[in-house]
């Protein structure tokens, strides 16, 4: 039972962690190589890895999507530990619109222009910080969605994830608040009810005992005196 509990909790934690890792913004140090636009079929379950910018897009089974091809500085641990190695990364560039995840991004065309403007060669690299969410998976053909791009002087830049810091502080505060609310609710609304219930239960039990006593005495009166 204990093992089952731990397993279930671990599975829940992994799902929640993956969800947050997919949804929260992350920053990559990149050099933009090229941008392109490609027709994408959106008719199977991998649809969930593409945005739904507006109502029309929800009904279409294929549409054009813009992409940004980059060379990326590799890193460990969600970008906290920088590595010397470089790899390639392709981002999609889609509006999230008013739907999930709530980035309220509508500036896809402008972002594509900014990306085009920052294109550079390995000989004269122009580095930039790419803010994005989502996963690159080559088997499922999923791409992280670019949210913002900011030119930087060199690839050795310190990035402080302000939004994520704020987000997790908010989650902790909200959780503490919810716990305080639940305690107050239990103490003020549930416990008094339970006490009342217990009182009522006691009364029923007492009267039942009294009744049993009466009936028992009446029965005893027929049995005659108890034999010792």
Partner 1 sequence: MGLIRLVAFGFLVLSVMYLAISWYSRSVRREKLEESWLQDHPGDTESEARAAYIRDGMIKYESGLRKKLILLVYVIPIVAALALLFIINAY
Residues that bind partner 1 (CB under 8 A): 52, 54-55, 97-99, 102-107, 110, 147-148, 150, 180-181, 184-185, 188
Beta carbon nearer to partner 1, 97 or 134:
97
What's the closest the beta carbon of residue 97 comes to partner 1, in angstroms? 5
Beta carbon nearer to partner 1, 195 or 209:
195
Cα–Cα distance between 113 and 107 in angstroms, integer? 10
Contact criterion met (CB below 8 Å) for 146 and 91: yes
Both tokens assigned to 12: 């829940």
Burial (0-12, 13-18, 19+ Cβ within 10 Å), 3 = exposed
What's the closest the beta carbon of residue 138 comes to partner 1, in angstroms? 28
What's the closest the beta carbon of residue 34 comes to partner 1, in angstroms? 23
When computed from its CA atoms, the radius of gyration of the chain, rounded to whole angstroms, is 32
Beta carbon nearer to partner 1, 168 or 185:
185
Cα–Cα distance between 58 and 163 in angstroms, integer? 29
Strand partners, 137: 142
What's the closest the beta carbon of residue 1 comes to partner 1, in angstroms? 33
Beta carbon nearer to partner 1, 75 or 147:
147
């Amino acid at each position: 039972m204990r093992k089952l509990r731990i397993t279930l909790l671990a599975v829940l934690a992994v799902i929640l962690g993956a969800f947050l890792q997919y949804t929260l913004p992350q920053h990559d140090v990149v050099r933009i190589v090229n941008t392109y636009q490609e027709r994408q079929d959106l008719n199977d379950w991998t649809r969930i890895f593409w945005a739904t910018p507006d109502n029309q897009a929800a009904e279409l089974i294929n549409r054009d999507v813009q992409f940004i091809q980059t060379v990326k500085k590799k890193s460990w641990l969600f970008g906290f530990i920088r590595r010397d190695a470089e790899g390639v990364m392709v981002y999609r560039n889609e509006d999230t619109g008013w739907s999930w995840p709530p980035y309220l991004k509508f500036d896809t065309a402008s972002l594509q222009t900014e990306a085009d403007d920052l294109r550079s060669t390995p000989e004269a690299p122009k580095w930039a910080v790419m803010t994005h969410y989502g996963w690159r998976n080559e088997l499922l053909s999923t791409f992280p969605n670019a949210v913002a791009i900011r030119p930087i002087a060199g690839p050795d830049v310190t990035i402080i994830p302000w939004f994520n810091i704020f987000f997790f502080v908010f989650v902790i505060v909200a959780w503490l608040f919810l716990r305080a609310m639940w305690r107050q609710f239990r103490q003020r609304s549930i416990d008094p009810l339970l006490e009342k219930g217990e009182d009522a239960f006691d009364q029923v039990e007492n009267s039942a005992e009294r009744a049993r006593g009466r009936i028992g005495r009446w029965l005893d009166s027929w049995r005659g005196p108890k034999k010792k």
